[in-house]
Amino acid sequence: MRRFILQRLLQGVVLVVMVATIVFFLGRLTGNPADMILPEDASEEDRQEMIKTLGLDGPLHVQFFIFMKNALQGDLGLSIRYRQPASEIFFSRLPNTLKLVPVAMLIAILMAIPLGILSALRRGSITDRVSGTIAVLGIATPNFWLGILLIYIFSVQLGWLPSARMGGFSHYVLPTITLGTFLVAGFMRLIRSSMLEILDSEFVKLARIKGLSEWVVVWKHCLRNALIPVLTLWGVFMGGLVTGAIVTETVFAWPGIGRLTYEAVIFRDFPLLQAVIIMDAVLVLFINLLVDILYAYIDPRIRFS
Amino acid sequence: MRQLPWVSLGIILAMVFVAVFAPVLTAHSPINQTLSDKLIPPFWEDGGTTKYILGTDIFGRDVLTRMFYGARVSLIVTALALLVGGGIGLLIGIVSGYVGGRLDSVLMRFVDAAIAFPAILFALLLAVTMGQGLRTLIIAISVLLWAGFARVVRGEVLALKQRDFVALAKVHGCSPARIMATHILPNVLNTFMVLVTLHVGIVIVAEASLSFLGAGIPPPTPSWGLMVAEGRGKIASAWWLSLIPGIAITLVVLAFNLFGDWLRDRLDPKLRQL
């Protein structure tokens, strides 16, 4: 088990270095980063000055070395828009995202597991059909539009819920639904299809023959196995989750790292974007590592192979 | 066998139709502004007129016209991105699966890495460094697609290369390149076609999301995602600006997904796990 974790950790580190390398070279290949930082009407003297302070006058490999060294020390450059170290801004926004995303995920999981199981147990029933339709719609509806639709219905028309920014409980309702819908739909479909397969397997038949109650069979024997595909396909969900967080925070003016990413894009704040992407990569890989550990815990075949 | 999904097919064909015949179907320009006619609601609302069936935006541009031209952008981006991203995935999947060995494990490491890393971040980075535009968008979405294609195609190839006809081709002295091109490739095309259809919805949403985030096709070219974004600030007074293009995205993605499911059941039921 320890070897497994170490191996995954090492892969994660390699991937972060790859991401940082790509970010570095994309920034250099497409022009001088000094031009992205300076205003368009800057004088040539200012430009040379900036190139010097940023260490951009040296050969590329030296620049890369400096960039990596600084990055390792947590120095990811200054944001153009905020005139502050990019990593500081990132960490000041991170808690807000951590208040939103786990809540949305928890709701998604709490909804998807019972619905998925119920649809599989009562295949073809009304519950199955309704949740099937919701899943298909949930996957087809883009997050950003769902958020706007919810704002239109619940904030503009009914006036029940706030449409933007952080605050009390009511501020969480619309963003978590917006972010959670995509996950609910995906999880539910996966849990249903794997439940159907498992309910048909030998060990479930054996459990039933042994006279175990249906409750124990479903929740203990089946669920654990039904969750495996959710973890296997985690990468796909992670991609959706990051996109979802960026879009949802943008729609609801939620001051987290998703919204920060959007700001970095629309203000063309390259140092900030670069920092956000590298930090996001670290965060994503950390979460993937946790999922891998969970995976190994649920499925002993992974642990011992 | 499930019946052909007529409704889905109808929606898809309607989208292709309005995209192709946009200039014939509407007298308005998707770009020119008519400020005197700004923010007119759809014709069934108070103040609406049949001159602008789905109303106008803040610059007085006809929403329906922009929807037609937006369908064009969606389809062009989708077709090109699937061709490039799917094509690269197909190629890597075939080579990786057929050649095997060290090359296979290296390539699959890259696939794992690409799947573990959220492609949206890369897409946003590209938009900022390379500038917005069709080329950037195609590259960005291809990066999102190739790994999934490569992984599935590779799995298929691993099974194919054990088959007798491949062994026979080898005995006949076919080179590996020739075997891959003439014996393996035609046999994975079914799977490839199913993957393409199943990914159309994903690409349309990806394009719309990037446009929404200011990293897609730059304005004033109409794109459905951009239209949703532009109408967002006016949601309280002019709901049609955001909601109508969003309905179109959802319907089209739904149609492509249902059609993809049908095609998969028809051509390649093994892929049902996807």
The residues with which B49 forms a beta bridge, in sequence order, are B52
- Residue written as token pair 């259809």: B197
Q: Provide the 3-class DSSP secondary structure of residue B48.
A: coil
What percent of chain A lies above the pLDDT cut of 90? Answer: 9
pTM (two decimals): 0.86
Q: What angle do CA B165, B166, B170 make, to 5 degrees?
A: 115
B233 closest CA partner among A152, A154, A167: A152
Of B120, B242, B253, the CB nearest to A148: B242
Entry field: residues in chain B: 274
Q: What is the arithmetic mean of pLDDT over A107-127? A: 85
Q: Which residues of A touch B212 (CB under 8 A)?
A: 142, 144, 247, 250
Interface size A-B, in CB pairs within 8 Å, comes to 140
Query: Mean pLDDT of all residues in chain B?
Result: 87
Phi, psi of B52 (to 5 degrees): -120, 90
Query: Which of chain B's residues have a Cβ under 8 Å away from the Cβ of A140?
Result: 201, 250, 253-254, 257
Separation CA A108–CA A166 (nearest Å)? 21
* Residue A210: both structure tokens together: 């042994």
Residue B205 has pLDDT above 80, yes or no: yes
Three-state DSSP class for B52?
strand
| Residue of B8, B205, B247, B274 to mutate, testing the A interface (most A Cβ within 10 Å of its Cβ) | B205
pLDDT tens, residue by residue, B15-72: 999 889 888 888 888 888 878 877 778 888 787 777 888 888 888 788 888 999 999 9
Q: Do A235 and B115 touch (CB under 8 A)?
A: yes
DSSP-based three-state secondary structure for A85: strand
- Give the pLDDT band of residue A199 (cuts 50, 70, 90): confident
Per-residue pLDDT reduced to its tens digit, A43-70: 778 777 777 776 667 777 888 888 888 8
Q: What is the least distance, in Å, from the CA of A235 to any CA of chain B?
A: 5
Contact A145 B239 (CB under 8 A): no
Alpha-carbon dihedral B118, B123, B124, B128, rounded to 10 degrees: 150
Task: Centre a 10 Å sphere on the Cβ of residue B57 and count the other Cβ atoms it contains.
Answer: 23
Q: What is the predicted pLDDT for the residue at B10?
A: 92
CA distance B63 to B68: 9
Measure the CA–CA gap between A25 and A12, rounded to whole angstroms.
20
A144 closest CB neighbour out of B119, B130, B209: B209
Residues 6+ apart with CB under 8 A from A225: A194, A198
Q: Are B94 and B184 in contact (CB under 8 A)?
A: yes
What is the number of other CB atoms lying within 10 angstroms of the CB of residue A60?
Answer: 12
Least confident range from A146-160, A245-259, A288-302: namely: A288-302
Per-residue pLDDT at A40:
67
Pick from B239, B243, B257: CB nearest A136: B257
Q: Which of B2, B145, B213 to mutate to test the interface with A (most CBs of A within 10 A)?
A: B213
Quick one: pLDDT band at residue B154, thresholds 50, 70, 90?
very high
pLDDT (average), residues A136-153: 89
Q: Return the H-helix or E-strand segment holding B2.
A: none
Query: Worst-scoring range by mean pLDDT, A242-251, B1-10, B17-26, B94-103?
Result: B1-10
Secondary structure of residue B225 in the 3-state scheme: helix
User: Which pLDDT belongs to residue A303?
Assistant: 67
Indicate yes or no: CB of A242 within 8 angstroms of CB of B116: no
The backbone torsions φ and ψ at residue A30, rounded to the nearest 5 degrees and listed phi first, read: -100, 30
**Chain centroid, CA A221 distance in Å:** 30
Average pLDDT, chain A: 83
What's the one-letter identity of residue B72? R
Closest residue in chain A to residue B243, using alpha carbons only: A149
- In terms of pLDDT, which residue wins out, A176 or A59? A176
* Token duo for residue B139: 């590259």
Confidence class for position B255, pLDDT limits 50, 70, 90 = very high
| pLDDT the model gives residue B88 | 96
Residues A251, B232: C-beta atoms closer than 8 Å: yes
d(CA B63, CA B242): 10
| A29, A140, A277 ranked by CB distance to B253: nearest | A140
